[in-house]
Amino acid sequence: MNNTNVHILIVEDELRIARFLQIELEHEGFRVTTEENGEKAFELIKKGGYDLILLDLMLPGMDGMTICRKVREFSEVPIIMLTARDDVEDKVEGLDIGADDYMTKPFAIQELLARVRNVLRKSRGAGTVSRGDSYVVGDLVLYPNTYEVEVAGEPVQLTRREYDLLEFLMRNKRTVLTRDQILEQVWGYDYSGDTNVVDVYIRYLRAKLDDRFDKKYIYTVRGVGYVIRD
């Protein structure tokens, strides 16, 4: 499984735990979003695009049980409940209302990762993730719904940033993009680091796409920026 295509939402108001989970999951290559407020989390889930939700039970705004029950009215997205209460009834209720699994805090990260993989495997097997629309440049195809990238049908593993950069280039196929435009769109307005970062990531992408498959997708327009085309 290509983890960079998997987007996990962590709903957890204990920021120390949320941060820890985020670091561990990102280390495994997953895309991670965190939200500490239950109500806001529910709004995010309604918008869609997540492959797995890690859901704390006690939350400000809306509790985890309520979120899980409401989500199940419209979505089969896998949910792993994180509960601080070692209470059997809670666990049973959690699974009853449609959670796929639960973890009792404190938990060992390796066990959580194993359960994440297990739940994802099951959901993939059930074919619940729809690829939807795609961007195409020659043999190169990118599926925004599933964050999957393929060259001639072969999957390509990208980091989050590489993926964002590629998506921006492909959305603007045949349009020359300046380094400033790329920085603003992919790294954000408040990015204050080295502008060479664009060139560095273009190199990463070329290594994983152009070089690996012996193709040419990404072109340098000297003094201006970059463009992707057939």
Contact positions vs Ca ion (CB under 5 A): 13, 56, 58
User: Structure tokens of 102?
Assistant: 């639960």
The answer to whether 73 and 66 have CB atoms below 8 angstroms apart is: no
User: CB-wise, 56 or 167, nearer to Ca ion?
Assistant: 56
Answer yes or no: are the C-beta atoms of 59 and 66 closer than 8 Å.
Answer: no
Least spacing, CB of residue 10 vs Ca ion, in Å: 12
Residues 86-100 as b/e (b if ≥16 CB within 10 A, e otherwise) read eeeebbebbeebebb
Nearer to Ca ion, 32 or 141 (CB): 32
Alpha carbon distance 69, 94 (integer Å) = 9
Residue 143: closest CA among 152, 159, 130: 130
Residue 54 or residue 120: which is nearer to Ca ion going by CB? 54
Report the nearest approach of Ca ion to the CB of residue 58 (Å).
4
> Is residue 33 within 8 Å of 7, Cβ to Cβ?
yes
Shortest Cβ 92–Ca ion spacing (Å): 20
Using CB positions, name the residue nearest to Ca ion: 58
Q: In this complex, which beta carbon is closest to Ca ion, that of residue 59 or of residue 71?
A: 59
Q: Tell me the sheet residues that pair with 177.
A: 226
Residue 19 identity: R
3-state helix, strand, coil in the chain (%, to 5): 45, 20, 35
User: By C-beta, is 13 or 150 nearer to Ca ion?
Assistant: 13
The least distance separating Ca ion from the CB of residue 24, rounded to whole angstroms, comes to: 18
Q: Compute the least distance from the CB of residue 220 to Ca ion, in Å.
A: 49
Q: How far is the CB of 59 from Ca ion (least distance, A)?
A: 5
3-state secondary structure of 154: strand
Nearest to 40 by CA among 16, 9, 74, 19: 9
CB-nearer residue toward Ca ion: 59 or 166: 59
